[in-house]
Amino acid sequence: MNITDVVKQVDDKRDELIELLTKLISYKTPAPPARNTKEAQSYIARLLESYGFETDMWDVYPNDPNVVGTLKGTNRSGYQSLIINGHIDVAAVNEDEGWNADPFQARCGEEFITGRGAADMKGGLAGALFAIKLLREAGVEFPGDLVFQSVIGEEVGEAGTLECCKRGYSADFAVVVDTSDLQIQGQGGVITGWITVKSKQTYHDATRRQMIHAGGGLLGASAIEKMMKLIGALQELERHWAVVKSYPGFPPGTNTINPAVIEGGRHAAFIADECRLWVTVHYYPNESYEEVAKEVEDHLLQVAKADRWLRENLPTFKWGGTSMIEDRGEIFPAFEVDRNHPAVHSLVSAHREVTMKEAKVNVSPTVTDGGWLADAGIATVIYGPGELTEAHAVNEKLSVDQLLDYTKVMVQFIYEWLHTKKESA
């Protein structure tokens, strides 16, 4: 079997690949509302089983299962293993959006496939699945293990990938087939947090004069107004980070602190005794969410201790979460691409051979579940078809030519990496 012949089959079987993507788009899996992926995941499980994989399917949330397929290698201890990871959920579709047709009925023209999830990221799932199908139909046996993960919840921070890691799935390398315009990428990270200012006492609004005017004698304050001081402190920290921190590939000041949502007060007859601020913090690939959260806390606590009222009513913090739907919180860990990793070299080589262009190795301006794989100690990259401007867009579309190129690269890369001996072997 000549791997070049298998790569050429991608063009010959173009219609089959487009049919597969059309089928995946037809499953309505937007998140929110989520809890709607079981049918799509069952379909992927059947596909994997038809390719000879052993499948593991379990509910992360009701009607939202993960699917992991494992194809055990013929010489597992001696050859490299691979995880291919992608999410089955897609961005929400609102009724008033100006789609030209049903978002879940893909339309394929000469240049583009249009439909919700085409770019983000059912195109990546379809290309990777089709590459595996072609390799298996050609009778290829892999010496190393191949693990395929179709996960839920990425669009709403529910980290189906983290659940795969907790279940013990691992490999020598992982490719997250998310939207990257065929660039090999790492990513910065995101963590959300709740900052709460809460008074130890509750006061009638008629006592406000005693809190703010000479001789009032009442050490009280509005939690909303004190939160304003902390928001100012967050802006100062954000500007400080922009000066002292940087990372190649990111414009200065990409590490932002967004005061996204504020909640507070009871009603007009009370001095506000509690205020909660929901923030989103973006940080660089060489930082961890734990250390960034601690930097924010330490800065705000220093500011609070310099305030006569806040030092007696220090802010509290709750970071992260497992779902933007269930507990209004999420974490996307950052990770860096190891340019010297042999799998990265192999992927760069496959990209060059197929596209006749040098691969761009850089950082994604957005985030994916890949951080959880890297957090578990697995060397990871993002590599998928689709332009980021199309992700979540009305009339979302994917270039047919790019989908074909992507599938060819994956055929070549999967074959080469799983036939690569471990260094210790």
- Active-site residue numbers? 89, 154
Query: Residue 48 — left, alpha, or beta (φ > 0 → left; ψ -120 to 50 → alpha)?
Result: alpha
Pair type for strands 146-151 and 397-399: unpaired
| Cα–Cα nearest to 91, from 167, 16, 183, 155 | 155
Instruction: Quote the radius of gyration of the chain (alpha carbons, Å).
Output: 25
Judged by DSSP in three states, 381 sits in: strand
Taken as a whole, the chain contains a residue count of 425
Angle at 258 between CA 257 and CA 259, to 5 degrees: 120
Tell me the CB-side half-sphere exposure of residue 245, using CA atoms within 13 A. 20
Strand partners, 332: 190
Q: Mention every residue, 6+ apart, whose C-beta is less than 8 A from residue 6.
A: 134, 135, 138, 140, 411, 415
Judged by DSSP in three states, 363 sits in: strand
Q: Mention every residue, 6+ apart, whose C-beta is less than 8 A from residue 24.
A: 40, 43, 88, 117, 122, 125, 126
Angle at 399 between CA 396 and CA 400, to 5 degrees: 125
CB-count burial class (<10 Å; 0-12, 13-18, 19+) for 214: exposed
- Tokens 């922009």, residue located: 242
Judged by DSSP in three states, 279 sits in: strand
Strand partners, 65: 59
